[in-house]
Amino acid sequence: MSADEKRRAAGQGNYFCASLFCCIAFICGMNAAWACSFLEREVVLSENFTADCMAAEISEDVCNALTETQGIGFYGFEVTVPVDQRLCLGYTQHIEGVGYVTPDFDTKFNSAKAFTIVANIFGGIAFITLWLASCCQLSQQRIKGLSCHFFIATLFQGLTFLIYRSVVCHRGFFSEYFQGMETDEDGIPVDILDVNCSLGSGGKLAIVATVFYFLCLNMIPTAVPPTPLGMRENAAGTTEPEAATEEPFTEEPKTAEP
């Protein structure tokens, strides 16, 4: 095997690895974006929280929502319902005596949510392009151009962790659900003492997506796309469609009419 053949074989190996890693990253990124538990939110409550919550005529389900660890996602949150079932809910909820309420999201949360969309768009474009190269003729320069897509996907997938700096990890988040309870000067129920945020299942998937996008970013400059199906290499080193094979035509002998 010549040196050029070895480089081409190594380049095609990088191409197939990048295609596989991109597939894994894209799937993990999409699941992380739609997960109801990107992070786990544990609330530290006072001993009188349940009694004060019920005294404010707030439903028992809403009061119990804070007693267990909640999962926080970009499009909904996850709560534990008796006894051990996890339920994904939208942020807009109907509170008896109040109506429909939605928590206030800050710029950091909305930015992290937008970053997931950008990462999935560029990761999806790279994913489709790599797999289409198996049946469509793409130059190596065009494949190298995907480095920009992988850089953006890696960067913005990592920036989704800005959610940990957002309002969802502050005491005041969800306070709109507990109207009628005694509050401090910031309008936060005094029975909510502190909040601790930790990595959720969606956050773990986002880490996997970031790592695999980064691996693709390093592999794609040396990746060599395979020869597409239906193409072959001729003596000049270029590719051309395979000629269709046909059976030779033979004219049947005519028989003389009587």
For residue 205, what is the domain's CATH number? 1.20.140.150
Q: How many domains, in total, are found in the chain? A: 1
Please name the residue that has the structure tokens 């992380």.
32
- Residue 148 domain-assigned? yes
Alpha-carbon span 243 to 247, nearest angstrom: 13
Give me the sign of the Cα torsion angle 8, 11, 13, 16.
Answer: negative
- Residue 203 domain-assigned? yes
- Residue 240 domain-assigned? no
pTM of the predicted model, to two decimals? 0.83
Give the pLDDT of the chain (258 residues) as one tens digit per residue: 677 777 778 888 888 999 999 999 999 999 999 999 999 999 999 998 888 888 888 888 788 888 888 999 999 999 887 667 888 989 998 887 778 989 999 999 999 999 999 999 999 999 999 888 877 777 778 888 899 999 999 999 999 999 999 999 999 898 888 888 888 888 899 999 999 999 999 999 999 999 999 999 999 988 888 776 666 554 345 545 444 344 443 445 555 554
Domain with 15, as residue range(s), is 7-86+104-222
β-bridge mates for residue 45, sequence order: 192
- Residue 243 domain-assigned? no
- Residue 70 domain-assigned? yes
Residue 252 per-residue DSSP state: P
Could you tell me if 108 and 167 are in contact, meaning their C-beta atoms sit under 8 angstroms apart?
yes
Please name the residue that has the structure tokens 């059976």.
247
Could you tell me if 97 and 131 are in contact, meaning their C-beta atoms sit under 8 angstroms apart?
no
Amino acid, single-letter form, for residue 219: M
